[in-house]
C-alpha cells in the first residue's frame, strides 16, 4: 500500500513569508501616506485658490477688495441690537455660492449659525473637527500695528469696522496682484466667524454707543490676530512661517467671547496672552511639513517654503512695497525667491 506524502510549509518558511510581507508593507506604507498627503495638499491648495478667486468676484461686484472685518448688511438684520460686524469669511460666502449661509449670518442672530464650509477646511488639518465654523485659512491683514495707522500699501485686507471709508482699490496693487499674498493657511486659527481685534467695546452692538474703544487705538494695545496674519518690522522667531507659539502665549488661546455677542474676543484677552503678545502668533502655519499653501491676489496659488527669506515674505504681503511702512522697501522679488 503506497502512501502519499503531503507537502506543507514548515513553521520556519511561514515565518520567513510573514517577515517578507511585513517588510514590504513597511516599505509601501510611507509611500502610500506620502501619496495621500500629496492629495490632501493639492486639495488644500485648491481651497485657498478658491478664496482668492472669490475675493476677485467680490471686487468685481463692489469695486473694492473685501475687508478683514466689515459690517453686515443693515437691511437684512432682524434688529438694531443684532450682530453688526463680521469677518472676510462670512462676507465672501455669496461669492462661494453659499448665499443661504450668508443670509443666516446677515440676520444678526446669536448664537451664530456656525455653518460648516468644506472650502474653509484644509484636509490635512487634523487639529480641528469637520463641523461648525472651523477654518484653516487666514487673510493678509498687513502690518502688525494699531488700526489707526492702517493703509492699503501694507496689506490686502483692511479693518472697515474702525473706518468704513477705507478700501483696497484696483489702483493700490502697485506690485501686482500676482506678487501680493492674499490668503494663507494657519493650522492653529480659530473659527471663521469669530474675529480677534482688541479695538471693540464690550458691547459693540449697542447702536446708541460708540462701538470703538478709543482708548485701545494706541499702537501698543490695538492689535488683530484672527482670522488674519500679519507682518512685523522686527519679527520674533515665533512669528515666522510654521514657527512654534511665542513663549508668552502658552497656552495659545486663553481668550473668551465677550458676553452677549457672538464673535468678539479681542478685549477679553488677559495675561499670559494679551493683545500685544498674541499678535506674533498670527502667522502662516500648516501640517504639510516644510511650508504652507498661499494664494495671491490674482488667484495664483503656491506652496511657499517655510525657509523663505522673511524680507521676501514681508514684501509679498505689501501691495506697494515702496509706499508701505516696511523697513526694507527696496527688496527685489523674483519667482525663484518665492518657491
- Give tens-digit pLDDT for 286-333: 999 899 999 999 999 999 999 999 999 999 999 999 999 999 887 666
Q: Pick the closest to residue 225 from 339, 317, 147, 326 (CA basis).
A: 147
Three cell numbers, residue 334? 523674483
Q: How far apart are CA 295 and CA 279, in angstroms?
A: 22
Q: How far apart are CA 229 and CA 248, in angstroms?
A: 18
pLDDT of 61 reads: 96
The rounded percent of the chain whose pLDDT value lies above 70 is: 90
pLDDT of 38 reads: 72
DSSP 223-287: -EEESEEEE-SS--GGGSTTPPPPGGG-SS----PPTT-SSB-GGG--TTS-HHHHGGG-S---S
pLDDT of 254 reads: 72
pLDDT of 273 reads: 79
pLDDT of 31 reads: 60
Three cell numbers, residue 291? 511650508
Report pTM. Answer: 0.88
Antiparallel, parallel or unpaired: β 291-296 and 301-305: antiparallel
3-state class percentages of the chain: helix first, strand second, coil last, to nearest 5: 35, 15, 50
Three cell numbers, residue 172? 493700490
Separation of CA 104 from chain center: 22
50-82 per-position pLDDT tens digit:
999 999 999 999 999 999 999 999 888 888 778
pLDDT of 93 reads: 98
Q: How far apart are CA 275 and CA 268, in angstroms?
A: 9
105-116 per-position pLDDT tens digit:
999 888 889 899
Count the Cβ atoms, other than its own, within 10 Å of residue 330: 9
Statement: residue 334 has pLDDT above 70: no
Q: How far apart are CA 257 and CA 163, in angstroms?
A: 23
Across 50-59, 100-109, 120-129, which has the greatest mean pLDDT?
50-59
Average pLDDT over residues 223-239: 93
Amino acid at each position: 500500500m503506497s502512501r502519499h506524502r503531503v507537502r506543507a510549509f514548515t513553521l520556519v518558511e511561514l515565518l520567513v513569508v510573514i517577515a517578507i510581507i511585513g517588510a514590504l508593507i513597511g516599505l509601501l506604507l510611507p509611500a502610500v501616506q506620502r501619496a495621500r498627503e500629496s492629495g490632501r495638499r493639492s486639495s488644500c491648495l485648491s481651497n485657498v485658490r478658491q478664496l482668492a478667486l472669490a475675493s476677485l468676484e467680490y471686487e468685481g461686484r463692489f469695486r473694492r477688495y473685501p475687508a478683514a472685518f466689515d459690517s453686515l448688511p443693515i437691511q437684512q438684520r432682524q434688529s438694531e441690537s443684532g450682530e453688526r460686524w463680521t469677518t472676510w469669511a462670512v462676507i465672501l460666502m455669496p461669492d462661494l455660492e453659499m448665499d443661504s449661509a450668508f443670509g443666516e449670518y446677515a440676520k444678526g442672530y446669536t448664537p451664530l449659525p456656525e455653518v460648516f464650509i468644506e472650502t474653509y477646511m484644509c484636509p490635512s488639518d487634523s487639529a480641528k473637527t469637520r463641523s461648525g465654523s472651523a477654518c484653516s485659512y487666514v487673510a493678509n491683514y498687513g502690518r502688525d500695528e494699531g488700526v489707526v495707522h492702517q493703509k492699503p500699501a501694507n496689506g490686502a485686507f483692511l479693518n472697515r469696522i474702525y473706518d468704513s471709508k477705507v478700501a483696497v482699490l484696483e489702483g493700490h496693487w502697485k506690485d501686482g496682484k500676482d506678487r501680493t499674498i492674499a490668503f494663507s493657511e494657519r493650522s492653529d486659527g480659530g473659527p471663521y466667524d469669530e474675529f480677534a481685534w482688541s479695538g471693540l467695546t464690550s458691547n459693540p452692538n449697542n447702536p446708541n454707543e460708540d462701538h470703538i474703544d478709543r482708548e485701545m487705538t494706541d499702537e501698543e494695545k490695538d492689535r488683530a490676530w484672527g482670522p488674519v496674519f500679519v507682518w512685523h518690522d522686527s519679527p520674533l522667531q515665533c512669528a515666522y512661517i510654521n514657527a512654534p507659539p511665542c513663549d508668552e502665549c502658552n497656552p495659545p488661546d486663553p481668550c473668551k467671547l465677550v458676553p452677549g455677542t457672538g464673535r468678539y474676543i479681542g478685549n477679553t484677552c488677559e495675561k499670559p496672552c494679551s493683545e500685544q503678545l498674541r499678535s506674533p502668533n498670527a502667522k502662516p502655519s500648516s501640517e504639510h511639513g516644510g511650508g504652507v499653501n498661499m494664494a495671491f491676489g490674482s488667484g495664483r496659488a503656491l506652496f511657499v517654503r517655510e525657509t523663505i527669506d522673511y524680507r521676501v515674505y514681508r514684501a509679498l504681503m505689501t501691495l506697494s512695497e515702496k509706499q508701505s511702512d516696511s523697513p526694507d522697501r527696496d527688496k527685489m522679488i523674483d519667482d525663484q525667491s518665492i518657491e
